[in-house]
Structure 1
Amino acid sequence: MDDRPGRKQGDERLWPLGSSERNRWMVSERTADLVRPPIEPRPLTVQTDGKEVTLDLSRTAIVIIDMQNDFCHPEGWLSHIGVDVTPARKPIVPLQRLLPALRGQGVPVIWLNWGNRPDRLNLSPALLHVYKPSGAGVGLGDALPGSGAKVLERGSWSAAIVEELAPGPSDIHVAKYRMSGFQDTELDSILRNLAVTTVLFAGVNADQCVLCTLQDANFRGYDCLLLEDCVATTSPDYCMSATLYNVRQCFGFVVRSEAVTSQLS
């Protein structure tokens, strides 16, 4: 229930009903007003790789994917299994510049992070096999030797956002446990309640969780912009090249964060 005061309509008072100011009814015992409040457009024009694009800040959100200790910290899971996480840390500095500017414009910041249940009942054998193909070693939900941290377990240090990217108090957090952040999560409902039509994408890995989530957003009708300097991957370089090509060709636009921040300022 919205905590804003109700309004008078004739001889009765209507009260707001909805989790977001952008998607709510006004109701009383006798009346339901389903007309949503108008959202005034705030156009922002940016230069993408292919063309000049004008988006509506009033209907835009940024989704940051998997910037977590297990993926990006030198003491996290990927590093433990021998992956050089240096590339996964590249989005940190540009996001440190971009996120305050977006928050200052009221753009929702959504952290979409891998977060297993402690009992792992949200993980199928097929998913566990991706990260533990021989059945041995340290996979999803297993304890890291030494620290004992459970790999990507919701609420743990392993699944926490890297400390360089401290979330703001009004940021939104969504847990996922598939490559796509739309699969079996609240992400789509949250975006629709916020009246979002355009999504900026950041995080890791660009060719895996970021791309899968962006593709699903495109399939659901969202406008998609991939922030090229705010995404990274520990995969070979050709994987990033293919990701950028496919986003430009099929799923949206590719833009650098400075093209956004320069216009915001």
Structure 2
Amino acid sequence: MTFDDPYTAPHFDSATLVTIDVQRDFLSEAPHGVPGTTEVLPNLRAVIAAFRAARRPVIHIVRLYDVGGANAEPSRRRLLESGVQLVAPGTPGSQLADGLAPPNAPELDPDALRAGEPQVLGPDEYALFKPRWGAFYGTTLDELLRTLGVDTLVFAGCNLPNCPRASIIEASERDYRVILVPDAVSRTTDTGLSEIAGLGVHLISTTALISHLAG
């Protein structure tokens, strides 16, 4: 694959992987999970491993809904007010899906995360809480990325129509070069991917991305 546009071409030596909402309560088999999320975990784990091998940063963006939904977006408050607990702070369901965090990583710290602090999970690997769909809204993500010297973002996770899409648009608004890994994202459609590509986003498979990072 070649990248002809000098304004959008990714820079793999200054790239960061951003995983979106890949938490146990959002897995396919969970009561309120997102179809297709468990199924992309093998590719997502492979992408994470490739970033670690390339010594490039990994940032896991997570949601944490207060019991009762006071801090949720309006579209989910009714569900959470009914008594449903979804990625509630400190619960097993709020933790990253198995095999995503680095070895010996601590569990997510809800107090630090909701205070807006990036939580260090391992070398060049972080968790960051977002209060709405987009990973930049009300967060310190942009500040963290600038500190890391990043200009290219690679997105994967759960689920394309909502949080990855919102995050990609926010990244584009901040002039980041953007990649989406379609086979490591849940709920993709041909139409959705075509629309994402129309934003200047490069669609790169897990296998191709690993090759670029290694090369």
**Cα-to-partner distance string for 1:34-54 (whole Å, 9 max, x where unaligned):** xxxxxxxxxxxxx27x86986
The AA in structure 2 aligned to 1:165 is L
Report % sequence identity. Answer: 23
The AA in structure 2 aligned to 1:139 is L
- CA distance in 1 between counterparts of 2:213 and 2:68 reads 44
Match of 1:244 among 193, 199, 202: 193
Q: Over alpha carbons, which structure has the higher Rg?
A: 1
Higher normalized strand content (fraction of residues): 1
Query: 1:155 Cα shift?
Result: 3.1
- Size of the aligned set, in residue pairs, is 193
- CA distance in 1 between counterparts of 2:201 and 2:28 reads 30
The AA in structure 2 aligned to 1:59 is S
- CA distance in 1 between counterparts of 2:71 and 2:24 reads 21
- CA distance in 2 between counterparts of 1:121 and 1:190 reads 27
Identify the range of structure 1 (169-178 vs 158-167) with the bigger mean alpha-carbon deviation.
158-167
Question: Residues 106, 259 of structure 1: CA spacing in aligned structure 2 closer, same or farther, 3 A cutoff?
Answer: same
- CA distance in 2 between counterparts of 1:56 and 1:251 reads 14
Match of 2:144 among 177, 181, 190: 190
Structure 2 match to 1:69: 24
1:108 has 2:57 as partner: yes
**Normalization by structure 1: what TM-score?**
0.65
Structure 2 match to 1:14: none
Structure 2 match to 1:253: 202
**Normalization by structure 2: what TM-score?**
0.79
Q: Helix, strand or coil for the counterpart of 1:225?
A: strand
Question: Residues 65, 242 of structure 1: CA spacing in aligned structure 2 closer, same or farther, 3 A cutoff?
Answer: same
1:156 has 2:110 as partner: no
The AA in structure 2 aligned to 1:98 is V
Query: 1:241 Cα shift?
Result: 2.3
Match of 2:76 among 125, 128, 131: 131
Runs of 4+ in 1 over 4 A off after TM superposition: 50-54, 117-121
